[in-house]
Amino acid sequence: MDAHADYWMETEDGEDNNGNGLIDESVRYMVALADIGQPYTCEQWGDAGITGIPLIVEDPGTIFGWLHDFYNAYPTYAILDHEMRVVDKPWPYGSTDNLIQSLYETCEEAGLCGAVSDLDGDGFVGSDDNCPNDYNPNQDDNDNDGMGDLCDECLNSAGDLNEDGFINITDIVVTVNIVLNGGIDSNAFTDCEKSNADFTGDEIINVLDIIQMVNVILGNSIQFCNCNNGNLELNKISGNVEASFVTQSNDLIVNLDASHSFSGVQFMIPGKNTDINLLDNSHIKLEINYLNNATNVLAYSILNQPFDSKKATFTIENGSQLNTQEIEIIVGDTHGRGMELIKSNNGSVFQKGPYIFELSNIYPNPFNPTAEISFSLAESGHVTLMAYNTNGQQVGTIFDGYQENGLHSYSWHASNLPSGVYYIKLSDGINQQFKKAILLK
């Protein structure tokens, strides 16, 4: 082993002990004090004469497992790559220089081995140089993203989409267009524009970012952004808003009634709808865009003025046949914090916060003879989970009683039933859902 260490050892004059030229100290030899029964000294095991730096892994025996080989010899050798993975345990040590050379080249390609040079001559090398190919002795990095300003195409200035040093109405206009055209997933805008439009730093671009940017323009204090990669709090849920859907002739009316003032609303409505109107609230700007068979709607105030009386009524013309559970709504208060939604359809609540009334899953399906039934509830109350055969006869009661809102799961044991198709019904007295379950014995 010492001969191989000599071959790879770097010396002060740039040649190894055999005159083979400069290798690199990235190749290291480590030894372990694993044979605790021997009176070897640290100097002997550390092999300081070879590496110049004693590298000793102190481990009273547990290292035996990965150093041990199939000859039951101990201690033996292990060769690790630059990710500290064991790639070989040669015994005897033999000729391993080709393997080490290959590992070294892989490590070098990853930029983790090899002598590091100051390519741009600015006095900084390696990870200390935030622009390794550009001369920047001051290492300026105004957005603190680890990439120097000289080579940073995106200055990551939250809210400043055109990077002119200011957050103003032009930045709001571009952010609005980003939201209406798909948000963070839009292909119509650069990564820099989208990064700066994500004012809150939550990797989502929506009406909350717009409200907070408006507050900056107005000189209001911002408490919930992640500006310039800082450590401020992200959006918090603030209060709640009841969103009730009511069909009226061919139209769908959406009434919003909030616990406190709000100044921005965003909708995502499946399909193309000819018109969407906002009742009263003439100070609120309403913008609509149709994209990928969906209607994106923004309602906000450029002066951050709240909706009248903490209420808003939107009319979706010819929307009476829409699935209200597929309509996404975001409501932001005047600080740009999201508000918890309580959704109801003609008076029946089907969603509260993240929870909806849904019979979500039967697993496995087909099953034999036990299936796990999962469901979620928007509101706490009395619910029933029943099983029926194809004749509509009740054949099992899975659950019948009071249940808190949230996610739930119960097992259905059908060992007493014949193979066939069954239907599971979830009901809270107002809402109900069915799912098919197949029993195969």
- CATH number of domain containing 420: 2.60.40.1930
Q: Residue 56 and residue 35: Cα distance in Å, rounded?
A: 13
CB 109, CB 103: distance < 8 Å: no
Q: Looking at the domain assignment, is residue 199 inside a domain?
A: yes
**What is the per-residue pLDDT for 293?**
86
**What is the per-residue pLDDT for 30?**
62
Domain that holds residue 85: 2-109
- Do both 183 and 145 map to the same domain? no
Q: Looking at the domain assignment, is residue 164 inside a domain?
A: no
What's the chain's Rg over C-alpha atoms? Answer: 33
- Do both 13 and 60 map to the same domain? yes
The structure tokens listed for 157 are 């200035």
Q: Looking at the domain assignment, is residue 173 inside a domain?
A: yes
**What is the per-residue pLDDT for 210?**
94
Strand partners, 88: 79
**What is the per-residue pLDDT for 13?**
43
Q: Looking at the domain assignment, is residue 117 inside a domain?
A: no
Q: For the chain, what is the domain count?
A: 5
- Do both 318 and 247 map to the same domain? yes
Domain stop point among 80, 109, 138: 109
> What does the H/E/C string look like for the chain?
CHHHHHHHCCCCCCCCCCCCCCCCCCCCCCEECCCCCCCCCHHHHHCHHHHCCCCEECCCCCCHHHHCCCCCCCCCCCEECCCCCEEECCCCCCCCHHHHHHHHHHHHHCCCCCCCCCCCCCCCCHHHCCCCCCCCCCCCCCCCCCCCHHHCCCCCCCCCCCCCCCCCHHHHHHHHHHHHCCHHHCCCCCHHHHHHHCCCCCCCCCHHHHHHHHHHHHCCCCCCCCHHHCCCCCCCCCCEEEEEEEEECCEEEEEEEECCCEEEEEEEEECCCCCEEECCCCCCEEEEEEECCEEEEEEECCCCCCCHHHEEEEEECCCCCCCHHHCEEEEEECCCCECEEEEEECCEEEEECCEECEEEEEECCCECCEEEEEEEECCCEEEEEEEEECCCCEEEEEEEEEECCEEEEEEEECCCCCCEEEEEEEECCCCEEEEEEEECC
- Do both 19 and 77 map to the same domain? yes
Domain stop point among 352, 377, 393: 352
- Do both 298 and 396 map to the same domain? no
- Do both 128 and 219 map to the same domain? no
- Do both 30 and 70 map to the same domain? yes
**What is the per-residue pLDDT for 373?**
94
- Do both 202 and 269 map to the same domain? no
Contacts of 180 (CB under 8 A, 6+ apart): 287, 288, 289, 291, 296, 298
Render each residue's pLDDT in the chain as its tens digit; 441 residues. 566 666 665 444 444 444 444 445 567 666 554 444 454 455 544 444 444 444 445 444 444 455 555 545 555 667 777 777 777 777 666 667 778 778 877 776 666 666 556 667 777 776 677 787 788 788 887 767 677 777 777 777 788 888 788 899 999 999 999 999 999 989 899 888 998 899 888 889 999 999 999 999 998 866 555 444 443 444 456 788 999 999 999 999 999 999 999 999 999 998 876 689 999 999 999 999 998 888 999 999 999 999 999 999 999 999 988 988 889 999 999 988 889 899 988 778 888 877 888 898 999 999 999 999 999 998 888 999 999 999 999 999 999 999 988 899 999 999 999 999 999 999 988 888 999 999 998
Strand partners, 264: 300, 332
Structure-token match 């015994």, residue found: 91
- Do both 105 and 63 map to the same domain? yes
- Do both 98 and 147 map to the same domain? no
pTM of the model: 0.60
**Angle of helix 169-180 versus helix 207-218 axis, rounded to 10:** 180
Q: Looking at the domain assignment, is residue 37 inside a domain?
A: yes
**What is the per-residue pLDDT for 59?**
47
Q: Looking at the domain assignment, is residue 235 inside a domain?
A: no
Q: Residue 169 and residue 160: Cα distance in Å, rounded?
A: 10
Q: Looking at the domain assignment, is residue 428 inside a domain?
A: yes
Q: Looking at the domain assignment, is residue 157 inside a domain?
A: no
CB 351, CB 325: distance < 8 Å: yes
- Do both 246 and 343 map to the same domain? yes
What CATH number does the domain containing 282 carry?
Answer: 2.60.40.680
Question: Nearest 5°: phi and psi at 362?
Answer: -125, 120
- Do both 89 and 129 map to the same domain? no
